[in-house]
Amino acid sequence: MPWEVCTAVSKREEFVRFAAAREESLSELCRRYGVSRPTGYKWLGRAEEGFSDRSRRPLSSPNRTGTATEALVCQLRRRHPAWGGRKLHHYMRREGLAPLPAPSTINSILSRNGLLAADRRMQRDWQRFEAEAPNHLWQMDFKGPLQTDTGPCFALTVLDDHSRFNICLAICPDQTRETVQAQLEQSFHCYGLPDCILSDNGPPWGSHQDGERRFTRLAAWLMRHRIVVSHGRPAHPQTQGKDERFHGTYNRELLASRPAWYSPAELERASTDWRETYNWQRPHEAIGNEPPGTRYQPGRRAYTEIPPPADYPSGDLQRRVVQGGLISFRSHTYRVGRAFTGELVALRAVADGVWDVYYCLQRIKTLDLRLPPDL
């Protein structure tokens, strides 16, 4: 039977001292100390070695991971210091590396080699959604400012919602409409046009506050290319949760990998290399631990620099937006947005005295003729 853990060493020392004095039988001494006679004899025999418990580790471990595999795991971890056991396991499986350790075994290897970081479990959104197919929805946002020795910059990120494929990771000097539009044009040429783009609130994206949408010239340009523009709820970054998660991954795996970057150009080169790893090598847990590139296909709608003019059904009433973003309708003037100045919009009746205003495919305003114009 075992010794009491809290005083095991001291009680063993006492036992040996009393046994050496031989003032009572060994059997009685064992009874008082709550151990069996074999245990008592065992500790008498170990008196000169010390009284701490011996290690129960076996003399040999035939099933332990081989040194070559352990070295490979450590090498991959140093190459991708933010990847844990599961990502490394699925990466090794896809690359056909054998023998293939289990994720828990890989974590054990990392732990005993001092390569296992503290657990960073991210809080999950209570409600999750996913677009049905590639290019149905792209998420877009800026990360930054990012500091470099020669000045700040910003990372423009565009992520396909269905596949998590990174469409765009561009290091930009600012967050202006012209900069974003130029980067999107390059992405459209390469990957085609998405059906919808979800972005944050504020310039250059636009906003959706208190039920009122305010569109920017960038949003109007996207609408002309038949892309629906959507904005997340104010103060709810989880609406663009996939892009926010991408920002966290980008920060852990690249931005935080060194204390400082020399210039935006250096960061651009490093980001380009990391994007290749993210899209085509890095296992993504949310899509079955496959790289996003295995789930993505470019869109079928090709980009043209000059989009076709707005074409509305014959039953719509059309109005030209004049300076100040205004239209005239039923002897009143209504504001629909400066971003649409000079463009044709369509009005469709939805109820008695209520009309929806459309620009290309998107509803941009609802007019209630029973209320005073909001000028």
Residue-wise pLDDT tens digits, 352-370: 989 999 999 899 999 988 8
Please tell me whether residues 231 and 281 are part of one structural domain: yes
Please tell me whether residues 279 and 332 are part of one structural domain: no
Query: What does the pLDDT read at residue 10?
Result: 61
Please tell me whether residues 178 and 225 are part of one structural domain: yes
Residue 124 above 50 pLDDT? no
- Pairing verdict, β 344-351 and 332-335: unpaired
Report the percentage of the chain scoring pLDDT > 90: 46
More confident: 156 or 120: 156
The number of distinct structural domains making up the chain is 4
In a domain, 346, yes or no: yes
Residue 284: closest CA among 317, 254, 245: 245
Please tell me whether residues 25 and 103 are part of one structural domain: no
Please tell me whether residues 245 and 331 are part of one structural domain: no
Please tell me whether residues 101 and 230 are part of one structural domain: no
Residue 359: closest CA among 336, 326, 375: 336
Query: What does the pLDDT read at residue 64?
Result: 63
Q: What is the rounded CA–CA span in Å between residue 96 and residue 360?
A: 50
Domain housing 325 = 317-368
- For the chain, state the CA radius of gyration: 33
Please tell me whether residues 72 and 160 are part of one structural domain: no
User: Could you tell me the CATH number of the domain that includes residue 278?
Assistant: 3.30.420.10
Please tell me whether residues 226 and 181 are part of one structural domain: yes
Please tell me whether residues 103 and 152 are part of one structural domain: no
Please tell me whether residues 172 and 267 are part of one structural domain: yes
Whole-angstrom CA distances from 188 to 184, 222, 226, 312 are 6, 11, 13, 25
Query: What does the pLDDT read at residue 24?
Result: 65
Please tell me whether residues 32 and 87 are part of one structural domain: no
The tens digit of pLDDT for each residue in 30-73 reads 877 778 888 888 877 776 665 555 555 555 555 566 778 777 87
In a domain, 184, yes or no: yes
Please tell me whether residues 151 and 105 are part of one structural domain: no
**Lowest-confidence segment of 174-188, 220-234, 306-320 by average pLDDT:** 220-234
C-alpha 202, offset from chain centre: 22
More confident: 4 or 263: 263
The pTM for the full model equals: 0.67
